[in-house]
Structure 1
Amino acid sequence: MEISLKANITALVIVLLCAVVKTIRETPVIESELKTEIRCHKQCICTAYELLCPGANITEVLNYGLNMQVFYLDFSNMALTNFPMEVMYMTDCKKLNLSSNSIRLMHGSSLWALRDLEELVLSNNSIANIALISPGTLLNYNNNIKVLNLSNNPMIVLSQDHDSILYSDFLEILDLSWCRIESLVGPEVLSGLKRLKYLDLSHNPLKRLDQLYTKTLQILNVRGCLLNHINNSALVGLKSLNVLDISQNEYLDMDYNNIIRTSMLETLDASKCSVLRPKLDGMTNLKGAFFNGNRIRELTAYQFANSTKLITLDLSKNHLEIVHHFAFFGMTSLLFLDLSSNKIVDISWDFMIETNMPPLEILNLSHNQVSTIGILKSSTLQQLDLSHCLINQIPRDAILRLDRLTKLNLSFNPLQTLSLGSLNSSLLSLLDLSYCRISRLSYEFVNSVSLSDVRLTGNRLVALKSGTFAKCPNLKYVYLDDNPWRCDCFTVDFEYMASLIEKTNENFQVKNFDYREPVCLSPDNVTGLPWNVACNSSAYLLSRALIRKNISIALGVVLILCVSSVVVVFVAAHENMRTRQAVCTQIQGLDDYEDGDHHQDSEWTDGGGSGRRTAAHDEYEAAASSVAKLSQLPTYEEACMLYKKSVPARVKRHSCTQTADVCVPAAVNDVAATATDRLLRDYDDDDDEMAADPDSHGGSNRLPSQSTTIPAKHRVTQV
C-alpha cells in the first residue's frame, strides 16, 4: 500500500513538472499574442480574438495589416460596395459583420474559405433581390453556419423560383425583418433550408399569409406587418411550428368562422390586432394565447371549451365588459388568466370561482371597475391582483377559503378601513395595500403566520397601534413610507413602529436593497425629517423638554386649584351647617317655651304668684332681649333711606330644613307675638284676681292693669 502511495505521489510530481515546462515553452507565444493585440489601427478595437473597425476607412485598415486569427470581425459602416476579398484569409472567423454598407451582391465562392463561420450579418445593405447573393451556392461550404441576417434590405418578393431559393443544410435562423417584402410566392419558398428553426419576417408590408411548407420551422415571426387575412390552411404545412407571432397587425381580425388549423402550435401571440372574437378551436395543442390590446368586448359561454391544454390566456387591455359565467368552462389546464385593463364592472364570484373556473394559480383583475368582492373559494389560486380598481370594502373572511393564496395586491383602491378578519389567510406571504386611503388599522387586523411582506406606502396613516402585526411571526418587510406620520418618539405605539422599520432595514441590507424610510409630518418642528433623524434631533428633544415642563406646571396649577376649591367648599359647608344648627337650636327653644305656657299658667294660679311672675318675667325678658337683638328696627332716618318693596306674607317655620333667610324673620315674629299675648293675658288675670279679692294682695304687689303702661324694656315691636 505504501508503494502505491509513493507511486501516486511520484506521478503527481511528474505531471506538475510537465505543466511547468509547457508553461515556460508557451510564454513566447503568449507574449507574441500580446504584442499582436497591442498592434492595432487607431480606428479599430483589437484583441487576440476580435477586430472591431466599425466606421473605419477600409483601405487604411487593410494597409495597416490584419490579424488573421480573429474569431470576430466587424467591418460594418465602412461604405463597402463589394465583399472584401481579404476576409477570405481569416479562416478562423466565426462571426462576420458587414452591416450598414452598400453591398449589392455576393459571389457564390465568397465564403468558401470560412469553414468555421457561424454567423453572417448583411443587414442594412443594398440587396434588392435574394438572387443577387447567389443563394444556391453561397452557404454550400459553411457546415457550421447557423445565422444569416438579411434584415433592412430593399427586397420585395420571396419566390420559389430556382434562382431565388436559399439553400443550406445547416442554417437555423433567417432574419428578413424590416425589408420590403409584400408577398411570399409559392409554398416552396423555404424548401431549401433543411434545418431552419426561426424565420423572422416582421415589419414587412406583408398583407397575406398563405400556405407554407417546411418540416423544421419552429418559430414564425410576422409581427408588425400589414396582415389582414390568414388562410385557414396557412400553418398546416408547418409540421413543427410551436410559436406564431402575428402581433401588431392592426388590420388583422381572426374571423370567427375561419378556423386556423395547426396541430403543433403551442404559443400564439395575437396582441395589438383587431380581434373581436378569439377562436382557438383548430389549435388543439395550444398552451399559451395572448390577445391583449385587441377589441374584444364580450366573452360568451363555452368560448374556450376546446382549449383543454391552454395554460396561459392573456385578455388584458381590451374593452371587456361582459364575462359570461361559463366563459372559461372546459379549460381544465388553465393556470394563468389576465383580465386586467378592461371595463369589467361586476363579476359573479360565486359562479366563476366555486364551480366553473379552471384550476387557476394566477388571476389578474387589475385596472378594472370592480367595486365589490365576494367570498372567494379556490384550492389552487396562489396570486390575486385587484389593484387599481374601485374596491372600498372587503367582507369578513373574503380570502379565508383561498387555501393556497400567497400574494394579494389591493393597491390603489379607495379602501379606508379594514374590518377584523377580512384578510386572514394561512399561507399569505405578500400583502400590498399601498396607495389606498387607509387611515387606521385595527389591532391584529391580519392573521397570517406566513406573512412576510406588507406594503402600506402612500396611505393616510398617522400612527400604528402596538401589536398590529402580533399574529404575523414571520414578518420581515413593512413599507411605511409616504404617510403623514406623527412622530411621538417616546410613545409605545411609535416604538413599535420603529421596531418594524428597523427590522425591514436589516433585511434590506442583507439583500443590498435601499429602503425609503418614513418621514414625519408632525410635530411642526420635525416636519419633513426621517423618523430616526427626527427622534434624535435637538429640536425634538428641546420641544419634548418644554412640553414636559409645561405639563408639570399645568398639573401643579390644576392641583392647587382643586385643593383650594375643596377647602372653600368644606369651609362654606361647615359654616352653613353651624348657622343652621344655631338657628334650629333657638327655634327649638322657643318652640319648647311656647309648649310650656299652659303649665306655667297653672302654676301661677295655684300660688306663689310673685316668685312665679318673677321667673316668667325673667324668661320673657331673656327671650325678648334675644328677639330684640335679632329684629331690632332701624331708626327713622335709616328707614327713610331703605329700599321700599312689598312685604311678603309671613311664613311659619316648621322644619329646620327651611332656608335661614325665611326661618329667622318668621320665628322672630311668632315669638314676639306669643310673648306679648302671654304677658298681656297674665296682667289681665292678675287684675281680675285682685278685683275679686283686694285684701289678699298687697298694694305693693298689685300688677298694673291692661291700660297700665308696660315699661319700654318689656315692649316688643312685631316685625
Structure 2
Amino acid sequence: MILSRIWGFLLLCIITEAEIFDFDQHTNEACYVCSCSSDLTNVDCSHRGLTSLPDGISTKVTKLNISSNEISSFPNNLSHLFNLVSLDISGNHLNELPEDALRNLTALEILNFSKNSFESWLSLNPNEVLKPASSLKILDLSQNKFKTLANLGNQELLISPSLETLILDDCEINSIHGRSPLSGLISIRVLKLNNNPLLRIQNLISPTLKSLYVSNCQLSYISQNEFAYLPSLVYLKMSYNYRLQLPPTTESILSESLRYLDISYCNVFRPNLSGFPNLRKAIIKNNMIRFLISNEFVNNSKLEYLDLSYNNIGSLKGDTFRGLSMLRYLDLSWNEIAHIPEETFLEMPSLAQVKLARNYLNKVGHLKSTSLSILDMSSCEISVIGKDSFEGLPSLLDINLSHNLLSYIPDSISSNTLKYLNLNFNRISSINNVTFFMLPRLAGLSVIGNRFTSIWSRTFFNSNPYLDRLDLSDNMWRCDCSDDNMYDFYEFVTLEPNKKEESYNLICNSPINLIGQTWLEACYFIWNPGEKVRSADSLIWFIIIMIGGLSLCLLIVHLIKKSMNRRLAAIQAERERQIEEARDRLRQLRIRAEQEALCNTPDPRDLIAPPSYDEALSMPKLNTSCHSLNETGTGKTKRRRGRRKTKSSGDLLEETEISGDARVFDDIQTDETSNDNSKQRRRRNRRYGSHDIDELDQSPGARRRRMSEYDTLNDTVTVEVEAQVEQPLSPRNRRYSDENQPRESNF
C-alpha cells in the first residue's frame, strides 16, 4: 500500500514537471512574438498586427497589453489567466462582447476597451459581461460610438458592483435620458464624459459619485437641481464649454458636497458660487466677467483658492471679497482693474498671495492686509510708489513691480518684513543713502534693465545687513576707473564671502572706448598698476619662450622625419634583397625541374613498338642497306653488317619441341645477338640530337609502324607469343650511365 502511494506520488510529480516544462516551452514561444518581463508577469503584444491572442501566455501574467492590433473578436483563451490585473485591448476592431468574455478573471482591476468599434450598448451585454470580474475598478470605453447614454428598456446600462471609474470620453454622446445610467454601478466614484456633444447633464443619480468630468462639451445651461441627486459629488470640471452660463443669483446651482469647481473657458458673466457653501477651490478664468458686486462670495466661507484671471473685470468694491475668511490665493491678473480700494484685502484674514499683473493700475496705493506675503503687480503701468504703500502690509515678504513705468524710488520706503524687491525693467536712474534705509530685512534686490549710470556706493546698503543678492545687469553704467568708489563697490558686490553679483554681469556702457567690457576688463591695469609693467616683461619672456619652444618642436620634427626616412630606406632595401633571393631560388628550382624532366624522359625510339613478323614481310625491300637514315647521303663507306636472322614464334615453338638443348643454345645466341644489336643501336643513337629524334618520328617508317599498331588494335583476332627464356634478360642500358655527366640537351 505504501509502495503504491509512493509510486503514485512520483508519477504525479513527473506529470506535473512535464506539464510545467511544456507550458514554459509554449510561454517562450509566446515571448518570441510579444515582449515579456523577466518574471513573465508583464506581457506587451501591442502594435504586432495580431488577429488573435498568441498561445502559451503564462498564467503568472498580471498585466497584458494587446492594444493596437487587428483583433476583431474577443479572445477566448483569456479565461486561464486568472491572475490578470490589467488588460488593455484598445485600438482593435471589437464590436461585440460575449456574455462570458471575462470568466475566471476575478483578479482583473483595469479593463481598457477604448478605440474599438462598439456602436451599441447591447453589443456589450452590459448586464452580464462585468459580473465575473468581481474586482474590476476602472473601465475605459472612450473613443467608441455609443451616441447616447440612455436606459435599455428593462436592463441597466452597466452592472458591476465593484466598478469605480467609468471613462466615456469621445463617444459621440449627445444626450442622457431615461433612467439613470449609473444605477447599476453601486460603487461608481469617477465618471468622465469629456469631448462629447453633450447638451445637458441630467438624470445622473448616484449616491457614490465623487468626480464628474464634462469638459469640452456643448453644455449651455445647468439647472438649479442638476446635482441634487449626486450627494457625494466633490470634483466638477466643466471647462471649455464655450456657451455655458451659470444661472442668476435667484436660481443658484446647489451642491452641498462640492469642493472643486473648474468652469474656465466658458461664457460666464457672473461667478455665482453661492450654492456651493463647502467649495474649496474655484477656477473661473478666461470668461466674460466684467464686474464683481458687493458680497459676491459671502456664502463661500470655506473657499481657499480663487482664480479670476483673464476676464474683463474693471472694478472692485471694498466688500467684494467679504466672507472669504479662509481664502489664501487670489488671482486677478489679466483684467482691467484701475483701482483697488484700500480695505479690499482686509476682508480676507488668511490671504497670503495676490496676483494683480497685467491690469491698469497706475500707482501702488495704500493697501492693507494683515496676512498678505506675496504681491505681484508687474506690467501694470505703475509710475508712482507711495512712501507708505507697504506700511499697511505688515506680513509682506515679496513684491514684484517689474515691467512698469517707475522712474524713481521714494526715500525711506518702509517695510519691516520685505525680503525681495523686484524692480526690473523700469526707468529708475538713481538711488541714494536713504532709499533702502527702512528695509532692514531686505535680502534680494533686482534692478535689471533700468537706467542707472552712476556707480553706487556700498554705503547705500549699510542698513541692510541681510542683503545677499543684487541683480545689476543691463544698465547704462559709466565706468570711471580712477574713481575709488567704483573699485570699492566692485569689491563689495563681487568678492567673497558676501558675494552679491557675478562680475560678468557688470558691463560698461560708457565712455566709448570701454563699451561692452566688464568692469574688471576695463579697469584691471588701473586698479593693479604693478601688473602692467610685469605684464610687459612677462609678454617679452613669453614671446622668447614661445619662439624657443617652436624651434625645438621643429627640430624634433625634422629629426623624427629624417629617422623615419632612413628606416623606410632600410626597409625598402631589405625588401628588394628578399625579392631578389626569392627570384634566385625560383630560377634554381626551375632549372632543377627541367633537368629532372630531361633525365626522366624516355627514349622516343623505345616508345615505338617493332613491327610484327607479318608486318615485316609486307614491308617493301630496300635496295640499299641503311642502318640510319642520316647516314645515307654522307658519302662515307659503310661497314657491312650481317643481317640477323629472326624467326617467327611458330618456328621457335617447333625448334623447342625437337631439341631442348638446341633451344637453349639458340636462346643464348639470340640473347647475345639482341644484346649486341641493342648496344650497336645505342651507340648509333648517340650520334643524334633531339632534332634528329623528331625527324625520325616523322619518317615514313615511323608512320607505317603507327598505322600497323592502329590496324592491330582494330583486328578482331589477336595473336600472343610468349617467349620462354630460361636466363634472365640483361638490363637495358640507359642512354646515360652517369646522371651527373652533362647531357646533350643541356647544350
Correspondence for 1:326 among 303, 307, 319: 319
Question: What are the residue-to-residue correspondences of 1:364-513 with 2, within 5 Å?
Answer: 364-422=355-413, 424-443=414-433, 445-446=435-436, 447-462=438-453, 463-486=455-478, 491-493=484-486, 496-497=489-490, 499-500=492-493
Is 1:335 paired with 2:322?
A: no
Question: What is the distance in 2 between the residues matched to 1:136 and 1:418?
Answer: 73
Relative to the length of structure 1, the TM-score reads 0.64
Q: Distance in 2 between matches of 1:99 and 1:504?
A: 61
Match of 1:278 in 2: 271
Query: Matches of 2:282 and 2:76 in 1, distance apart?
Result: 48
Conserved? CA contact 1:481–1:516, under 8 Å: no
Following the alignment from structure 1 to structure 2, what is the Cα–Cα distance between the partners of residues 54 and 371? 60
Between the aligned partners of 1:82 and 1:486, the Cα distance in structure 2 is 80
Which of 500, 505, 511 does residue 518 from structure 1 map onto? 505
The offset of 1:495, in angstroms, is: 5.1
Q: Deviations over 1:8-46 (max 9, x none)?
A: xxxxxxxxxxxxxxxxxxxxx9xx99x989994366364
Would the aligned equivalents of 1:172 and 1:195 in 2 still touch at CA under 8 Å? yes
Does 1:289 find its partner at 2:279? no
For the Cα contact (< 8 Å) 1:526–1:540, is it kept in 2? no
Shift of 1:182: 0.5
Cα separation, 1, equivalents of 2:64 and 2:365? 63
Q: Is the 8 A contact 1:53 1:74 kept in 2?
A: yes
Q: State the distance in 1 between where 2:243 and 2:446 align.
A: 42
Question: Partner of 2:426: helix, strand, or coil?
Answer: coil
Report SS of the residue matched to 2:54: helix
Counterpart contact for 1:329–1:358, Cα < 8 Å: no
Compared CA separation, residues 471 and 160, structure 1 to 2 (3 A): farther
SS of aligned partner of 1:334: coil
* Partner residue, 1:230: 222
Q: Residues 542 and 381 (structure 1 numbering): CA distance in 2 closer, same or farther, change over 3 Å? A: closer
Match of 1:91 in 2: 82
Residue equivalent to 1:302? 295
Q: Is the 8 A contact 1:211 1:233 kept in 2?
A: no
Q: 2:235 aligns with which of 238, 243, 261?
A: 243
The question of whether the paired residues in 1 share the 8 Å contact of 2:440 and 2:463 is answered with: yes
In structure 1, which of residues 255, 258, 265 is the aligned counterpart of residue 251 of structure 2? 258
Instruction: Measure the CA separation in 1 of the matches of 2:209 and 2:198.
Output: 19
SS of the residue aligned with 1:69?
A: coil
Contact 1:480–1:517, Cα closer than 8 Å, also in 2: no
Matched positions, count: 505
Assess, with a 3 A threshold, how the Cα gap between structure 1 residues 488 and 114 changes in structure 2: closer, same or farther.
farther
CA-CA distance at 1:200 after TM superposition: 0.8
Q: CA deviation at 1:359?
A: 4.2
Code of the aligned partner of 1:287:
R
1:54 deviates by 2.1
Q: Rg larger in 1 or in 2?
A: 2
Alignment-mate amino acid for residue 238 of structure 1: L
C-alpha contact 2:525 2:531 (8 A) present in aligned 1 = no
For each residue in 1:647-691, what CA deviation from the matched residue of structure 2 results, as whole angstroms up to 9, or x when unmatched? xxxxxxxxxxxxxxxxxxxxxxxxxxxxxxxxxxxxxxxxxxxxx
Q: C-alpha displacement at 1:465, in angstroms?
A: 2.8
Letter in 1 for 2:310: K
Q: Which amino acid aligns with 1:227?
A: L
Point out where structure 1 has 5 or more consecutive residues left out of the alignment: 1-28, 509-514, 550-719
Aligned residue identity for 1:157: T
- The 1:90/1:455 distance shift into structure 2, 3 A limit, reads farther
Deviations 1:246-285 (A, max 9, x none): 1111001112143111111122111111111221222222
Q: CA deviation at 1:105?
A: 1.6
Give the structure 2 partner of residue 120 of structure 1: 111
Matched-pair contact (CA < 8 Å) for 2:349–2:371 = no
Matching residue's letter, 2:428: I
Report the Cα distance in structure 2 between the residues aligned to 1:180 and 1:426, rounded to whole angstroms: 60
Q: Percent identity?
A: 30
Residues of 2 paired with 1:494 and 1:230: CA distance?
A: 70
Q: Structure 1 residues 111 and 323, CA, compared in 2 at 3 Å: closer, same or farther?
A: same
* Structure 1 residues 373 and 158: CA distance shift in structure 2, 3 A: same
Stretches of structure 2 that go unaligned for 5 or more consecutive residues are 1-19, 533-747
Matched, 1:159 2:146: no
Alpha-carbon contact 1:286-1:307 (below 8 Å) kept? yes
- What is the CA–CA distance in structure 1 between the aligned matches of 2:497 and 2:159, rounded to whole Å? 61
Please list, as runs of the form range in 1=range in 2, the aligned pairs for 1:567-586 lying within 5 A after superposition.
none
1:57 aligns with 2:49: yes
Q: State the superposition RMSD in angstroms.
A: 3.5
TM superposition shift of 1:56 = 0.8
Equivalents in 1 of 2:31, 2:175: separation in Å?
46
Which range moves more in the overlay, 241-250 or 443-452? 443-452
TM-score by length of 2: 0.62
The alpha carbon displacement at 1:505 in A equals: 11
Amino acid at match of 1:389: C
- Which secondary structure state, in structure 2, belongs to the residue aligned with residue 402 of structure 1? coil
Deviation of 1:526 (Å): 6.1
Contact conserved, 2:94 with 2:116, CA < 8 A, in 1?
yes
The CA distance in 1 between the partners of 2:70 and 2:281, in whole Å, is 45
**2:479 touches 2:509 (CA, 8 Å); kept in 1?**
yes
Q: How many angstroms does 1:94 deviate by?
A: 1.7
